[in-house]
Chain A
């Protein structure tokens, strides 16, 4: 009696473990009951606003299909990449995944994504902005299709401009003007700033972008060459330090401490008069700004004619290496990046999309301020660059940033810091 019991318990335990191991795979069906191929689509769009939008796009696609059924799997940001990596290694990945646009080449190089060239022709490619298409190419082959993107613009407070005696229809066009305007827009009470005209490292922009802009739009690494320690980049870094010294460490920190919540954004609260951010920042002004009188303009140029450079990021749709249904997956990707879905996404999210036709359709359909900012952001894409992670220097940013930090903390001179940064990155080069 006892023996039997023990045996049964052991058996249950054993079977339990084995079942735990095999788990999902056996459950995962390849086809729906009515014979459609199931395409597993992974995204990190799980928020209240985004989830319904992407699911509507999927539903529309599914309704138009006799052979393919897309199943949406939401994975939280941060989890999705490691999970994708593990599933590619295990040979059981998703069919379509949304991934970062700046690391497409890196994934292609490491055999994590499928070559899409056999599904893509010239006319398909021409639907997208060329600077985005460049990032999905690795060794002359496309490994992803761009989905969305962003670009940085200068937002400025028109009422503050009027108050300071500046023309609200004439935003600053160069760095010199930016400094001049900022000084006029400052409001000080003794030593304390009540309003800061501008600070270049606030908002959605960093030191690297200003340095690139000063250098005629040349990034740290371009076509495999290093351009880290250049005279213009040194000059830009010195310029950034100048802003910090002008405001003082304390002012910068006390303002930064308040950046946490959306409702109290310092630009919207009128505490900062000019602010660089992505186009979508407008939705915050619209929702919390109480009819704020604002304008948008391209980021001022280093000097007249040197270019109003901006930089952007974004996401792509790609097929993980070893996906079971690449053909069906591509059908869905084509819909996802096609004009209809892209337009829907752009309208609902107020997001810059990769499909040119869709972006222009959105500009035509929007009205008022919605249209004004969106149009400016679309126009700005012409001067927007992406800086994909170079395959030979995957970890370069971590080597450069500490040196930039050190300059901005007043601990090292720009020439010295950038020389060291360039040396550090050189060491990193992969064969």
Chain B
């Protein structure tokens, strides 16, 4: 009996020892796997350090200098930042233009995309056709679209104004009138909300039908169902969309570069966006230090807005897990 016990005990000890051995081996294997893991992602790490983080830190440093790429790099403290607010009038113009664009484009395109996706979520015959139709503009790429819209918005021969004339409205000069250039861009953006629409459509289809059935039993109307079920259920997607499109809107550049004469941001600097002004400073005037400072200021502005967005998001975004208290 005793001997039996000891055998078991001994065997147990042996097992434990074996276990320890394998776990030690597993540990070392894990380290090895880690090393291989890093090796596998090393192309990315090298790229990140050399092509992203390095230049990023370099531009942070350059923003405190009068760096001109080829011959100068003197430390000038906060002079670049002072210059933005005291000397450079176009800085204010460009910041204002960009803020205007963000302020209008984000709510308009978000609301437009949600509205469209709700319409396209109805169960009607031929819906696939309409979904394709409204998504199509989103697959066309940048410059081609801008050229198309320059034609459409042509003051006297463009389709937009021709159409407006049919219904008795004399259309504005769009891209030629400083008051109408930004609305013209917004119109163009509204036309291509298809990408966002697709995102919302997917999330709308994920909203459980049982919620609507319950609401029906309680006698809820269409609007009530939309505001109390649909919107809260897709709010995480709205949040994501608002966040990314705000950041994207701050980066607006190509539109102004392509759609204005000589990429100047005209007429009357009405399309001189922040990034266009920055680009001019960097590559037309070789004021790379100043341009770097502008880039970092924009980064700070966008970061602050994103943090505010995140904080506000907690108040209105509904997560089904219920752990966002």
20 contacts between A and B (CB under 8 A): A13-B40, A14-B42, A17-B47, A82-B283, A85-B70, A89-B70, A110-B70, A110-B286, A112-B70, A257-B156, A398-B90, A398-B265, A402-B267, A402-B268, A402-B269, A406-B178, A409-B268, A424-B89, A427-B87, A427-B89
A420 and chain B: residue at smallest CB distance: B89
In angstroms, how far is the closest chain B Cβ from the Cβ of A206? 10
Residue B266 at the chain A interface, CB threshold 8 Å? yes
Residue A126 at the chain B interface, CB threshold 8 Å? no
Interface majority SS (helix, strand, loop, mixed), chain A: helix
Residue A194 at the chain B interface, CB threshold 8 Å? no
Range of interface residues on A (Cβ < 8 Å): 35 or more
B285 near A395 with CB under 8 A, answer yes
Identify the 10 closest CB pairs spanning chains A and B, nearest first.
Answer: A111-B71, A254-B156, A10-B39, A402-B269, A405-B268, A253-B155, A394-B285, A17-B43, A257-B154, A257-B157
B43 near A13 with CB under 8 A, answer yes
1/0 contact trace for B254-278 toward A, CB 8 Å? 0000000000111111001000000
Which chain A residues (373-398) contact chain B, with CB distance < 8 Å? 394-395, 398
B156 near A253 with CB under 8 A, answer yes
Residue B120 at the chain A interface, CB threshold 8 Å? no
| B68 contact from A110, A402, A406, Cβ within 8 A | A110
In angstroms, how far is the closest chain A Cβ from the Cβ of B277? 9
Residue A321 at the chain B interface, CB threshold 8 Å? yes
Residues of B within 8 A of A13 (CB): 39-40, 42-43
A257–B160 Cα distance when bound, in Å, is 14
A320 and chain B: residue at smallest CB distance: B70
Q: Across the A-B interface, how many residue pairs have beta carbons closer than 8 Å? A: 93
Residue B297 at the chain A interface, CB threshold 8 Å? no
Residue A88 at the chain B interface, CB threshold 8 Å? yes
1/0 contact trace for A84-95 toward B, CB 8 Å? 010011000000
In angstroms, how far is the closest chain B Cβ from the Cβ of A421? 11
Residues of A within 8 A of B42 (CB): 10, 13-14, 17
Residue A106 at the chain B interface, CB threshold 8 Å? yes
| A17 contact from B46, B71, B173, B265, Cβ within 8 A | B46
A112 and chain B: residue at smallest CB distance: B70
A89 near B69 with CB under 8 A, answer yes
A253 near B176 with CB under 8 A, answer yes
Range of interface residues on B (Cβ < 8 Å): 35 or more
A16 near B264 with CB under 8 A, answer no
Residue A324 at the chain B interface, CB threshold 8 Å? no
In angstroms, how far is the closest chain A Cβ from the Cβ of B124? 40
B156 near A6 with CB under 8 A, answer no
A111–B69 Cα distance when bound, in Å, is 9
Residue A262 at the chain B interface, CB threshold 8 Å? no
Which chain A residues (79-109) contact chain B, with CB distance < 8 Å? 81-82, 85, 88-89, 106
Residue A250 at the chain B interface, CB threshold 8 Å? yes
In angstroms, how far is the closest chain A Cβ from the Cβ of B49? 11
A428 near B87 with CB under 8 A, answer yes
Residue A30 at the chain B interface, CB threshold 8 Å? no
A193–B264 Cα distance when bound, in Å, is 31
Residue A349 at the chain B interface, CB threshold 8 Å? no
Residues of B within 8 A of A257 (CB): 154-158
A319–B180 Cα distance when bound, in Å, is 45
B264 near A398 with CB under 8 A, answer yes
Residues of B within 8 A of A398 (CB): 90, 264-265, 269, 272, 280
Residues of A within 8 A of B280 (CB): 395, 398
Residue B284 at the chain A interface, CB threshold 8 Å? yes
A406 near B46 with CB under 8 A, answer no
Residue A249 at the chain B interface, CB threshold 8 Å? yes
A254–B39 Cα distance when bound, in Å, is 63
Residues of A within 8 A of B72 (CB): 110
Residue B241 at the chain A interface, CB threshold 8 Å? no
A88 near B70 with CB under 8 A, answer yes
Residue A401 at the chain B interface, CB threshold 8 Å? yes
A46–B137 Cα distance when bound, in Å, is 33
User: Which of A6, A249, A398 has the most B CB atoms < 10 Å from its CB?
Assistant: A398
Residue B36 at the chain A interface, CB threshold 8 Å? yes
Residues of B within 8 A of A413 (CB): none
Residues of B within 8 A of A9 (CB): 40
1/0 contact trace for B171-188 toward A, CB 8 Å? 001001110000000000
Which chain A residues (238-297) contact chain B, with CB distance < 8 Å? 249-250, 253-254, 257-258
1/0 contact trace for B85-126 toward A, CB 8 Å? 001011000000000000000000000000000000000000
B267 near A409 with CB under 8 A, answer yes
Residues of A within 8 A of B173 (CB): 249, 253
In angstroms, how far is the closest chain B Cβ from the Cβ of A278? 16
A111 near B70 with CB under 8 A, answer yes
A81 near B266 with CB under 8 A, answer no
Residues of B within 8 A of A112 (CB): 70-71
In angstroms, how far is the closest chain A Cβ from the Cβ of B61? 15
In angstroms, how far is the closest chain B Cβ from the Cβ of A167? 34
Residue A399 at the chain B interface, CB threshold 8 Å? yes
